A and B are shown apart, each in its own frame.
Chain A
Amino acid sequence: MATDTGPEAARRTPLYDLHVAQGGRMVDFAGYALPVQYRGIIAEHEQARDRAALFDVSHMGQARIVGARAAEALESLVPGDIAGLGAGRMRYTQLTDDNGGIRDDLMVTRLAGDASGDASGDALAIVVNAACKDDDFAYLGTALAGWDCSLEVDESSALLAFQGPEAAAVLEAEIPGADGLAFLQGDLFHWRGAPLWISRSGYTGEDGFEISVPASHATALAEALLDSEEVALAGLGARDSLRLEAGLCLYGHDIDLTTTPVEAGLSWSIGKRRRAEGGFAGAGTILDQLRNGAARRRIGLRLEGRAPAREGAEICDAGGAPVGRVTSGGFGPTVGAPVAMGYVAAGHAAPGTPLTLTVRGRALPARAACLPFIAPGYRR
């Protein structure tokens, strides 16, 4: 039986002491000591689906791109429509490479007014994956310099994800006005003298918020939210099962340099203008796949039995011929059954297609399924 490797050498987030005090089982994740769970993954998963769960996602990379041509500069690196973002609006996109592969996926917000800190120009806030952030920031720093833009990495803020159907009411009581945010909108708030950037967003498939808070106030804010009976802490384990059920990609597993946004089923994140104009890294491949289709597709997989299929399991067609591989898989607590995502040759991607997943030499029956696996609770 494998046990987790120790987090001793890992960096600590501003909430480290709170995690330990609350019984978090600390593991090393992308170089950070973070809790994989507190009470149990299923209980924490249900907490986010039914009530409100608080996650520490301070390991993620937070930065700003500042300069008059910030949107134009970032658009050279991502296929998403950044210039079209209104003030305080955010969007999901990908940093692509010249082959159309995905260097990382990220959220981009257009800041405005007080929050931009630069009245004369433009400022974008980005949040990138922890495991990619050093590479991303080095890459962005170099690429943006040519556009007279600067990258300002924020090392002094924690990031909390506050997710679930009760999150809005609890946050509104603590920070009046927060519930006025629309889905994928952010704004600047103040709490006990500290500036908070709050957005209505998250990665669980539920309504919820992400809160960038100065490290000095992070624990106090977490404790204030945890004072509500509706709220409990949740760890990385639940974060993973929630995003899997929500059909959301995990970088390094479901998407990476070998997958394009089109293959990954992320074409919805490529705006109409960008499709027409191109002008981003990998546009040749990506626009060709948008027009002519990709040879393989990311799909959802529902298993018929109770045994889960994990990352790496081979996907075969009804005749037993290999057609792809699982990239994420496990038990879906809300679905109540094992679910997975993976890539298959395009001809096998239609929902309902019978497939098998090879687990420990056995062919487990499964079907291609629509994503997400759950009905999202986003407040639009």
Chain B
Amino acid sequence: MPTTYYSEDHEWLRVDGATGTVGITDHAQEQLGDVVFVELPEIGRTVLKGDDMAVVESVKAASEIYAPAGGEVIETNGALEDNPAAVNEDAEGDGWFVRLKLADPAELEDLMDAEAYAAFVDSQS
């Protein structure tokens, strides 16, 4: 059973064994507005927790996406190239960005669960 974690930078990380799938939260896509381009990292790249990992371009602006945990990029969502709007339509599903082979399970400890993230979003508005 995968477990989903959330970061204060509004990324989600779905952990299934040693693999983590990363995207931006529904709240984040709503704040960004219409997504028109996603720049994804190269497969094989190793990222550290907090590294710039991808860039989301909305009509308005470019936003950096940070790695919520470190690891090696093993897959990216190529479907976003033709359909970046998937990030708006299904941010926490089809709009995923990358899969990581996670480096260190201890890095998950300071991430939030869904309930804590919802409270975090509320506290920010």
Binding site for B on A (CB under 8 A): 1-4, 36-37, 40-42, 45, 237, 241, 306-308, 310, 330-331, 333, 338, 360
B8 → chain A closest CB, angstroms: 10
Q: Are B39 and A360 in contact (CB under 8 A)?
A: yes
Residues of B within 8 A of A338 (CB): 36-37
Which residue in B28, B31, B59, B124 is a CB contact (below 8 Å) of A241? B59
A146 to B58, CA, bound (A): 49
**Residues of chain B in range 25-49 having any CB-CB distance to chain A below 8 Å:** 28, 31-34, 36-37, 39
Q: Complex Cα distance A306/B10, Å? A: 24
By DSSP majority rule, is chain B's interface helix, strand, loop, or mixed? mixed
Do A330 and B28 form a contact, CB below 8 Å, given A1-B9, A41-B34, A306-B37?
Answer: no
Give complex CA distance A3, B29 in Å: 11
Residue of A nearest to B64 (CB): A1
Chain A hits for B28, CB < 8 A: 1
A310 in contact with B33 (CB, 8 Å): no
Given the contacts A37-B33, A40-B34, A360-B39, A331 and B57 also touching, CB distance less than 8 Å: yes
Q: Which of B24, B32, B55, B61 contacts A360 (CB 8 A)?
A: B55
List 8 interface pairs A-B (beta carbons < 8 Å), by A numbering: A1-B10, A2-B61, A3-B31, A41-B34, A41-B58, A42-B59, A331-B59, A338-B37
Q: B116 → chain A, closest Cβ, in Å?
A: 18
Chain B proximity of A101: nearest CB distance (Å): 28
Check if B62 sits within 8 Å of A237, measured CB to CB: no
Complex contact A41–B57 (CB within 8 A):
no
Bound CA–CA A373/B84 (angstroms) = 22
* Shortest distance between the CB of B71 and any CB in chain A (Å): 20
User: Could you tell me how many residues of chain B have their Cβ less than 8 Å away from some Cβ of chain A?
Assistant: 24
**A41 and B61 contacting across the interface, CB-CB below 8 Å:** no
CB atoms of A330 and B59 under 8 A apart:
yes
Asked, given contacts A41-B60, A241-B59, A330-B60, whether A306 binds B31 with beta carbons under 8 Å apart, the answer is no
* B63 contacts the other chain (CB 8 A): yes
In contact, A306 and B59 (Cβ under 8 angstroms)? no
Chain B residues with CB under 8 Å of A360's CB are 39, 55
Given A307-B57, A331-B57, do A2 and B36 touch, yes or no (CB 8 Å)?
no
Are B33 and A237 closer than 8 Å at their CB atoms?
yes
Closest 3 CB pairs of A and B: A331-B36, A41-B59, A42-B34
A333 touches B32 (CB 8 A): no
Instruction: State whether the Cβ of B16 lies closer than 8 Å to any Cβ in chain A.
Output: no
In the bound complex, CA of A40 to CA of B64 (Å): 21
Contact: B24 with A1, CB < 8 Å?
yes
Q: How far is the CA of A339 from the CA of B36 in the complex (A)?
A: 12
Asked if A2 and B63 sit within 8 Å, CB to CB, the answer is: yes
Pick from A2, A3, A4, A333: contact of B59, CB under 8 Å: A333
In the assembled complex, the CB of A362 is this many whole angstroms from the nearest CB of chain B, namely: 9
Q: How far is the CB of A359 from chain B (nearest CB, A)?
A: 8
Looking across the interface, which residue of chain B has its beta carbon closest to that of A40?
Answer: B34
